[in-house]
Structure 1
Amino acid sequence: MFREMRRKKQNLSNDKITDILHRGTSGVLAVFGDDGYPYAVPLSYVYHDSKIYFHCAKTGHKLDGIKRNNKVSFCVIDQDQVVPEKYTTYFRSVILFGKARILEDKMEKREAIEILAKKYSPDDLQGRQKEIDKGLPAVCLVEIQIDHISGKEAIELV
């Protein structure tokens, strides 16, 4: 169902993929957009228990796309170093395909936003809780259940 990588030498191990997803702070979500056009949008995320979580407003282009078709892709770029004298780029990235689910259950939403907030503000438990209590009613949380994942790096980094 999912394509195999052509350049197998450049394929990242599962451990490296997991490290990149934990380390990354932003990724690009692609959904089935309006009029059949793909819609790709950068966003902050957290990788937890082999799933991706992100938050957004309760309405908008990405949610419309997810409601239309819950199959999505998500990409995280770990390294992107242009090397002009060699006419190449030293890159490392991960791409995953999965199904997005809008969290409706209050406990699931709370757990997801707490995990997300802890990633971006690890040393401020009191501040996180205050912000979550204030903002949770107005925010939407989305979970991506991963169906396929791969990572690739420039041959020079192998």
Structure 2
Amino acid sequence: MQYRMKHFQLTEEDIKKLLQRAETGRLGTIREDGYPYVISMHFVYYNGKIYLHGLPKGQKIDNVNHNPKVCFEVNELLGLQPGEKNACDTEAIYNSVVLTGTAQILSDALYKREVLNKLVEKYTPQFVGKELPENMVKGTAVIEILVEKCTGKYHK
């Protein structure tokens, strides 16, 4: 276990709050050649799972279809505590969450629409209650991450 995890663990409630308020997260997948691939994405934490959306084709979709094991990370930098004697003593004040799990592309059209509406609530609340166009729903892939392990840490 990392040193900070022994002494600076976020509570389960703090982890949930960070996952709800974070604007972006980083999705880590494995390419077919075995190399990692990480991309920053908008997401929503809903029903204890992470949901991401995007085009139905591309590297992340190929990777999830090839190997559904993924990692997802969010963080927030709250500030810096400058060192007194030199720059190397400066410390970051932050919260972060790292989770691992299994990803899949949603196929249930009704649930996909429900998740897309949750993304609308989070990022464009001015459009809550307006019907999503059917062609947009069909043309959007939604990735669901079933969380298997989740840890959070902080430094203040």
**TM-score surpassing 0.5?**
yes
Name stretches of at least 5 consecutive residues in structure 1 with no aligned partner.
none
Q: How does 1:84-99 map to 2 (within 5 A)?
A: 84-85=82-83, 86-99=89-102
User: Closer, same or farther in 2 for the Cα pair 1:33/1:80, shift >3 Å?
Assistant: farther
- Runs of 4 or more, structure 1, over 6 Å off, are none
2:59: which partner in 1? 61
Q: Which has the higher helix share?
A: 1
- Report the Cα distance in structure 2 between the residues aligned to 1:14 and 1:45, rounded to whole angstroms: 19
Q: How does 1:43-82 map to 2 (within 5 A)?
A: 43-79=41-77, 81-82=79-80
What's the secondary structure of 1:45's corresponding residue? strand
- Report the Cα distance in structure 1 between the residues aligned to 2:59 and 2:82, rounded to whole angstroms: 37
1:129: which partner in 2? 131
Indicate the percent of aligned positions where both proteins have the same amino acid.
31
Name the count of aligned residue pairs.
150
Find out whether 1:141 has 2:151 as its counterpart.
Answer: no
| Root mean square deviation of aligned Cα | 1.6
- Report the Cα distance in structure 2 between the residues aligned to 1:16 and 1:78, rounded to whole angstroms: 12
**CA displacement at 1:5 relative to structure 2:** 4.3
Q: If the length of structure 2 is used for normalisation, what is the TM-score?
A: 0.88
**CA displacement at 1:56 relative to structure 2:** 1.0
Question: Residues 109-129 of structure 1, C-alpha deviation per residue, up to 9 Å, x if partnerless?
Answer: 111111111111223235x42
